[in-house]
A and B are shown apart, each in its own frame.
Chain A
Amino acid sequence: MNKDQRDHLARVLGTGKVIVRDPRYPEPFLLTVPFMQFDDNVPDNEVLDRYEKFIPELFTDPQDRTMILDALRRQRGLPAQAVGLLQYSPQTAHQTPRQQQSQSTKQSEEGSSSETASKIGSIDSLRPLRIQLSNPKNPFLTESEIFDAADITSGSTKATSKRWLIEHGFIREYKIQRKKSFLSVWEPLALGYSQLRLTKPQYASKGGYLHQFAAHRIKKFLVKQGYDVALEYMFPDTGKAVDLWAKREGEIIVGEIAIGPALARELDNLYKDLAGSVLPDRLIVATVDGKMRRDLEKLIELDLYLSTFRDKISVKLIGDFIE
């Protein structure tokens, strides 16, 4: 493969295209692959039913099944009620499992189920999540933005709704610092997508949800400032991919997002960012909180090589890019 072909591949593969090499077809041609959507959300119960038919000797004792199901739930690390067995009901949607249990006990005691159910709050607890996922490819909103969009103003309703979503395994919460306070960020989990009958999309950036959140929000911020922004940009000469690359009238900004505690790795990334043939005008490192920012600044200051680029490198909070 010559240099031109290799460069062409590098350009094509960065844009989500696929290269297939089949010895039977020496000349390139366009291949169309039909998109097929499969239902991945098969609950554990259904899996066990099928497996029981396959190997009945494993399920001789009825208690075995309960133990196996429990083990599967624990393995997944979600509350037992949230795993595959939960049936969504608008009447009880905003309640925690414990509330549902006490309600059903009350109902059986009082014998007036419909009356009790109608008294329960008026907000559909999945609504905030539905709003967050209204654009499934860009769910990168903060908690306050979601509640604003859902038009929920009451503090207690917000707290109950969030607790319900977390307890039922629909979302996971992260905190990021912004000035002296913290912002909440919700990661929609697989159960949340399936409950709303949505498919989890693929994002342009890499890493965990918080990393993707940061990348998309910083991109949004810089685009507003008039920059041309690319996520996961690969330098053609070094082959190093940076989290974010932005350009405006000859000014180049490179962004790295530091989420994990391994700060030495971030320093390595900075070394690589500065080793390319194109030296960025600004190198921004976005961190989750102030402590991490201070530690990273100290490490950069102590590093003989990086400290020479001190005027170019700035360590910021992810929250600084959220308006």
Chain B
Amino acid sequence: MALVVLAEKRNFRFPIRLSESAVVVPWNLYRDNALRNPPSVSLGSWCNESSQRIGDFDLRFASQSLFLELLKELHVEHGFTGEYWQSCPTLADLYQKVRKKRYPLMSHQARHRESLENRLSGILHHAGDVFACNRGIDLKKLLDHDFILELDGTIPEIKRLILSLLLSRILLYRIATGERTPHLRTLVIVDEGQNLFRRQEELSDSPSTLGHLITLAREFGCGIVVGVQNIRDVSYALTSNCAHKIGTGFSDMRDLDEFCRIIA
């Protein structure tokens, strides 16, 4: 069974001492081309997924659609069809494309283009090295190791993007390649899960698909352990899919009430 740990701090390095195959990666050394599809996952479905993940940056559905449209154009321009050996455009290429795109100033598209440009510029400014790479870490190799990703020292939005992209990759890959099995093949441990599975977002107009992916991936041997500080902020999709709930150290009665509610 492979272990994937998405750690908030540098306190999860001990597996290095326990296992030869364990790898600890500080976030700024992690490489992920957000536009490249995981092995066995179709390019189309990954484009949809990546537009969702970028959409988590407070992008409206219309701006997400623009992202998707330009991404597909970019893939055609680069002749990328989703094969592993092909060179894939990066978020930096997409950013350049968005910048060059011109729409009438007063049109809706111009506003969506501006939102998209701002988001991509922010991502590249904070984590250009991570996302502007052609290939990224090989997912199959990653899942053969015990992989610990350390996320301290970056802003919450980038943490969230790195985490959600990696989690989507793993889940989609397991769904695409997996046979239905009751045995656990990958265990993902998420620290500070309230950043990733937010209740507020679930109640919004465009809820994230991560919760849905977790439900699906469970059938394919992909388990998830989530640690949270404040249970009231966690999405219903997560709490309802969680078979086992462990509660300790409540400092607020409202948290305790919520815990009682979900275990009742």
Query: Measuring CB to CB, which residues of chain A are less than 8 angstroms from any residue of chain B?
Result: 1, 5-6, 9-10, 13-14, 16-23, 38-42, 46-47, 50-51, 54-55, 58, 68, 71-72, 75-76, 206, 232, 234, 236, 238-241
Contact = CB atoms under 8 A, between A and B. Distances in A.
Contact of B24 (A47, A58, A234): A47
B23 A50 contact: yes
17 contacts: A9-B256, A14-B250, A38-B18, A40-B13, A40-B14, A42-B16, A47-B26, A50-B23, A51-B24, A58-B29, A58-B31, A206-B251, A234-B251, A234-B252, A234-B253, A236-B253, A238-B253
B25 interface: yes
B245 A71 contact: no
A41 B10 CA distance: 9
Nearest to A44: B26
Interface in B209-250: 243-250
Contacts of B31: 55, 58
Contacts of A47: 13, 16, 24, 26
Contacts of B26: 47, 72, 75
B22 interface: yes
- Looking at chain A's contact residues, the main secondary structure is mixed
A93 B145 CA distance: 39
Given A13-B249, A239-B254, A239-B256, A46 B16 contact: yes
Nearest to B25: A51
B125 interface: no
A39 B17 contact: yes
Given A47-B13, A47-B16, A75-B26, 11 more contacts: A9-B256, A13-B247, A13-B249, A21-B263, A42-B14, A50-B24, A54-B23, A76-B153, A234-B252, A240-B253, A241-B252
A16 B251 CA distance: 11
Nearest to B137: A55
**What 3 pairs across the A-B complex have the smallest Cβ distances?**
A239-B253, A38-B14, A42-B13
Contact of A21 (B22, B245, B256, B257): B245
B25 A10 contact: no
Contacts of A232: 251
Interface in B1-58: 10-14, 16-18, 22-26, 28-29, 31
Interface in B69-114: none
Contacts of A38: 14, 17-18
B28 A75 contact: yes
B16 A50 contact: yes
Nearest to A1: B264
Nearest to A20: B246
A53 B172 CA distance: 27
B155 interface: no
B149 to A, nearest CB: 11
A241 B16 contact: no
Contacts of B18: 38
Nearest to A14: B250
Contacts of B22: 50
A18 to B, nearest CB: 4
A30 B140 CA distance: 41
Contacts of A72: 26
